[in-house]
Amino acid sequence: MNVLVVNCGSSSLKFQLINSDTEEVAAKGLCERIGIDGRLVYQPAGGEKEVTEAPMPTHTEAIQMVLDALVNPQTGVLKSLDEVEAIGHRVLHGGSKITESRVIDDEVVEVIDECCDLGPLHNPANLMGIRACMKLMPGKPNVAVFDTAFHQTMPPKAYRYAIPTKYYTEYAVRKYGFHGTSHSFVSKETIKYLGLDPDNSKVIVAHLGNGASISAVQNGKCVDTSMGLTPLEGLIMGTRSGDLDPAVLEFVCKKEGFDVKEMLRILNKESGVFALSGNLSSDFRDLEDAMNDGNEDAALAIDAFSYRVAKYIGSYVAAMNGIDAIAFTGGIGENAGIVRKKVLSYLGYLGIAMDEEKNKIRGERCILSTEDSKVKVAIVPTNEELAICRETVELVNR
């Protein structure tokens, strides 16, 4: 089955056309600057990247350009759009009502719409993508794969905040968690890869990318995760602060004359390792180079990031009363050996021993722990598009 996987942001759209039988990507690309001017980058498998600049006032024109590229007689990979059998959409927020991926019908559209309040940057864009696909490919099944769904198995003690109940009952303020597609995919892959018992396993997934989150997965179900009502909670990230004393907001707002909105922008866009490194970079490649050149701020940023990850792992070992495996994924988790080494250096008490040679590996699935390590540690690359494709096929065939 050919599945078009679509991931819409407010002014961008990433896509992959995946053959679900071979799980190979036939073509991929992205539309940028939607609503501004418009630029399509399209790449067929094994072919050159093509860049087309053309007006894309809305996501509908963007999707139309993607579809035209897919059937283009020269560089397209399809003879006709009839060959696209289903469309899988990444959707940020499904609130508490959505606990798994769903074939999109009026009710699902309504829930995504209701959750715009909780995901104001993403849900409206996700809906635009869904509506554009429904309009341009009528009759094809569309499936929504939610970033929050995998975390819906968390118990109340993990997802409730200790604030007045009214905020939960009336405004749905609670921990939701994000990157669920990745945590679900990587935890399942880890269980298979390491030969663990799916019904008797305790796995921690550290999804460390520009956005970073960590989850505790017991018997295949999420029991806790680090992101919260929004993706701001938890780990230190590229430009997000992660956990901090909420009183910092009022304190800095008063000193600088900011309002809460401006302060949240700073906590989302100007904080994290970027801030700790003295605004040097949010990219761990730059931070590592700077640290090796003796930059102490860069070294602090890497240290603080790794320390926070290790603290979360410790707390999730407590949450599950044990641990069988830790999986590193995401751009940093898959590539930055320095971070993995620092994180694991805090976890010797768990009987973890790492193979230093293996830790030099970048971006490939491998077992990092030694034979005698009490806990298995692995790099398990994430593949959210493939996860969305698999979910889409499962639902369409159900």
Smallest distance from the beta carbon of 104 to ligand AMP, in angstroms?
27
Smallest distance from the beta carbon of 207 to ligand AMP, in angstroms?
8
**Among residue numbers 286 through 345, which ones bind ligand AMP (CB under 6 A)?**
330-332, 335-336
Task: State yes or no: residue 210 binds ligand AMP (CB under 6 A).
Answer: yes
**Among residue numbers 59 through 118, which ones bind ligand AMP (CB under 6 A)?**
none
Task: Decide the pairing of beta strands 202-208 and 212-218.
Answer: antiparallel
Per-residue burial over 301-330, b if 16 or more Cβ lie within 10 Å, else e, is bbebbbebbbebbbebbebbeebbbbbbbb
Query: Could you please report the per-residue DSSP string of 189-229?
Result: HHHHHTT--TTS-EEEEEEESSSEEEEEEETTEEEEES--S
Q: Under the phi-then-psi rule, with left for phi > 0, alpha for psi from -120 to 50, and beta for the rest, what region is 72? A: beta
Smallest distance from the beta carbon of 206 to ligand AMP, in angstroms?
12
Considering the complex, state which of residue 209 and residue 234 has its C-beta at the smaller distance from ligand AMP.
209
Does the annotation mark 243 as catalytic?
no
In the structure encoding, which two tokens stand for residue 103, read together? 């074939």
Task: State yes or no: residue 227 binds ligand AMP (CB under 6 A).
Answer: no
Task: State yes or no: residue 238 binds ligand AMP (CB under 6 A).
Answer: yes
Considering the complex, state which of residue 265 and residue 362 has its C-beta at the smaller distance from ligand AMP.
362
**At 19, which helix (H) or strand (E)?**
strand 13-19
* Interface with ligand AMP (CB under 6 A), residue from 269, 285, 315, 356: 285
- CA–chain centroid gap for 90, Å, is 10
In the structure encoding, which two tokens stand for residue 36, read together? 């501004």
Using CB under 6 A, which of the segments 7-15, 119-127, 220-228, 282-290 binds ligand AMP? 282-290
- Torsions phi, psi of 393, nearest 5? -60, -45
* Interface with ligand AMP (CB under 6 A), residue from 68, 85, 114, 283: 283
Considering the complex, state which of residue 146 and residue 274 has its C-beta at the smaller distance from ligand AMP.
274
Considering the complex, state which of residue 108 and residue 212 has its C-beta at the smaller distance from ligand AMP.
212
**At 272, which helix (H) or strand (E)?**
helix 272-276
DSSP state of 239: S
* Interface with ligand AMP (CB under 6 A), residue from 38, 94, 119, 209: 209
Considering the complex, state which of residue 137 and residue 237 has its C-beta at the smaller distance from ligand AMP.
237
Considering the complex, state which of residue 362 and residue 374 has its C-beta at the smaller distance from ligand AMP.
362
Using CB under 6 A, which of the segments 113-121, 152-160, 277-285, 364-372 binds ligand AMP? 277-285
Considering the complex, state which of residue 49 and residue 362 has its C-beta at the smaller distance from ligand AMP.
362
In the structure encoding, which two tokens stand for residue 381, read together? 């690359």
Q: How far apart are CA 294 and CA 275, in angstroms?
A: 18
Task: State yes or no: residue 284 binds ligand AMP (CB under 6 A).
Answer: yes
Count, residues near ligand AMP per rule CB under 6 A: 12
Considering the complex, state which of residue 95 and residue 177 has its C-beta at the smaller distance from ligand AMP.
177
Q: How far apart are CA 294 and CA 384, in angstroms?
A: 36
Smallest distance from the beta carbon of 57 to ligand AMP, in angstroms?
28
Smallest distance from the beta carbon of 381 to ligand AMP, in angstroms?
10
Task: State yes or no: residue 242 binds ligand AMP (CB under 6 A).
Answer: no
Smallest distance from the beta carbon of 235 to ligand AMP, in angstroms?
12
Which of 233, 396, 165, 208 lies closest to 310, judged by CA? 208
Q: How far apart are CA 346 and CA 306, in angstroms?
A: 9
Helices (H) and strands (E) in the chain, counts: 14, 14
Contact 153, 96 (CB under 8 A): no
Tell me the per-residue interface mask from 150 to 189 with ligand AMP, x by CB under 6 A, - otherwise: ----------------------------------------
Q: How far apart are CA 328 and CA 186, in angstroms?
A: 9
> In a 3-state reduction of DSSP, which class is residue 263?
helix
Contact 34, 53 (CB under 8 A): no
| Marked catalytic residue, from 37, 68, 82, 147 | 147
Question: Token pair 């302060």 is at which residue?
Answer: 263
> In a 3-state reduction of DSSP, which class is residue 215?
strand
Smallest distance from the beta carbon of 125 to ligand AMP, in angstroms?
18
* Interface with ligand AMP (CB under 6 A), residue from 362, 364, 374, 394: 362
- Which residues are known catalytic residues? 147
Q: By the criterion CB under 6 A, which residues form the site for ligand AMP?
A: 209-210, 238, 283-285, 330-332, 335-336, 362
